Amino acid sequence: MKKIYSIYLLLGLFIATLYSCREDLTPVGPDIAEITHFRHDGPYLFYENGKLKILEVAKDNTLSIREESGLPAGLKLDVYSDDNQLLFQVPINKIDNFERPAWDDRTSYEKTFAVSDLHGRFDLFAAILKAGEVINDNYEWTYGNNHLVINGDIFDRGADVLPILWLIYKLEFEAKAAGGMVTTILGDHEELVMRDNLKYTYAKYNTLSQRAMNMTYGKMWGLTNVMGNWLRSKNTIQIVGENLYVHAGLSKAFMERKETIPEINELVAKSIYLTKEERKKQFPDIADFLYSDSYNGPLWYRGMVKTGSDYSPIKDADVQTLLDEYNVERIIVGHTENSRVKYTYSGKVYDICVNHPKAFEKETRAVLIKDGEIKAVNDKGELVTIKK
């Protein structure tokens, strides 16, 4: 069996090197049963030409690939954690034509709960949502007509990326039914994975994609991937109520460009899954700003949190100009890690990126905005005054 397994492994890796831009969804080898044991992952859905392909590694680490004609009525899929725990079932309510949220939504919610940089740690994401009474022990929405924000960086560094994505997908529908809302912002690790930069990605993801799908993990998030298209419908910069959300920050270079926020949102959606070379070729006027090592774009910029000259920190007057231009009270960012939630620019910018594993049960890991005030939240559900 080990010999046969090795043959299929080498075959899968060889075919992967021959992969071009076409998304070949054919499993490796004539007998998929020979290579069915993987780490828990998925489900992954691919939709093309009226066919829905479902790939998942669930119970007993077994790989399942099946095909449906369109979206079957009442389809529900099991979502497992990496450590073999059945977490919840997700009803598949929509698989295409995901609508982009309004970039400037002035809806005023009584409460907004915001968290960032989840990085594949479903356990810690669920813990802070439960502490904030956003969900119950069954991972169901209990936040009524209120608002949840995930401010980017769901991918990488952890083993439970798909459970986080599917929980957010599920909560979107549950929140809408209750009169609430879920906002998801794109981060730099979304763009890293989609352009196939996998240096922070757990090996299990690329192992599955190469052996079972004949492609690298980044390619698996291409245009036929249902969750990939769902993510591409999300904004890079979005205003909800009196708050502007962006993963990394807004730089002086952003202020000097001619593109509007809606244009930037659309450009990211059209280019995030391309390689760096393809981005520069198709969008030469903005690709470097959005994705290059200059780090001045909204997915990468750290100058709203870091003060060193290497980060090109934005000035107080420019922050106020941004607040006035977009008629918001504060800008909420992630990306730049702190030990706890902090603010800069006299409380005009809030950084909600923390190291969730280290901060768990000790420091604040989210924020609650209520009655115009913003407080940090710890894992006991306690509200804590935010400090500089």
Mean pLDDT of 23-49: 65
Mean pLDDT of 379-386: 97
- Counting residues of the chain whose pLDDT is more than 70, the rounded percentage is 90
Tens digits of residue pLDDT in 59-91: 788 899 999 999 999 999 999 999 999 999 999
Predicted pLDDT at 213: 87
Q: What is the mean pLDDT of the chain?
A: 90
Predicted pLDDT at 22: 31
Tens digits of residue pLDDT in 2-19: 344 333 333 343 333 333
Tens digits of residue pLDDT in 304-362: 999 999 999 999 999 999 999 999 999 999 999 999 999 999 999 999 999 999 999 99
Quote the crossing angle between the two packed helices 203-213 and 2-18, to the nearest 10°: 90
Confidence of residue 30 (pLDDT cuts 50, 70, 90): very low
What pTM does this model have?
0.90
Residue 20 above 70 pLDDT?
A: no
List domains and CATH numbers for the chain: 2-91 (no CATH), 104-384 (3.60.21.10)
Tens digits of residue pLDDT in 185-227: 999 999 999 999 999 999 999 999 998 888 999 999 999 999 9
| Strand, helix or coil for residue 78 | strand
Tens digits of residue pLDDT in 87-139: 999 999 999 999 999 999 999 999 999 999 999 999 999 999 999 999 999 99
| Strand, helix or coil for residue 206 | helix
In sequence order, what are the beta bridge partners of 152? Answer: none
